[in-house]
Amino acid sequence: MAWEAAGRPFEPALLDEAVEFLRAAAASEDAVLLHQDLHGGNVLRSARGWLAIDPKPLVGERAFDVASLLRDRRDDLARDPDAAGRIRRRLDFYSDRLGLDRERVRGWGLAHALAWGFEGGRPFAGHIECARLLMG
């Protein structure tokens, strides 16, 4: 298993919770076109207004697309003495403003952070730490 070959870079409970969420998430809301990489670095102001660039198009439920926003600006997040509080505030803000189920947003955030945090058998600490902060 790639996780073991990489020296078990994160605790099994993270993966267990993500897998449990993904199994339960099979019955999702209506599918829509998603950006999949929406974060501060991919939103630009232009003469035409605000533009979201560099999409990784995917069809899925709306709650999935908030995942990148939850872990945006990981360097700032890593320096924040209340990183868990910052993640909770982001989770509450986006869930409330977008009318999304908070637990689904959290679950997608956790699963997405692990997927992007362990690519090609190589761990990315910032993503994995965000997954930890999203643990239920």
Q: Please report, as a single letter, which amino acid is at residue 54.
A: D
Closest CA to 112 of 44, 37, 46: 37
Neighbours of 19 (CB within 10 A): 12
Name the active-site residue from 16, 30, 37, 92. 37
96 is catalytic: no
SS3 state of residue 45: strand
The residues annotated as belonging to the active site are 37
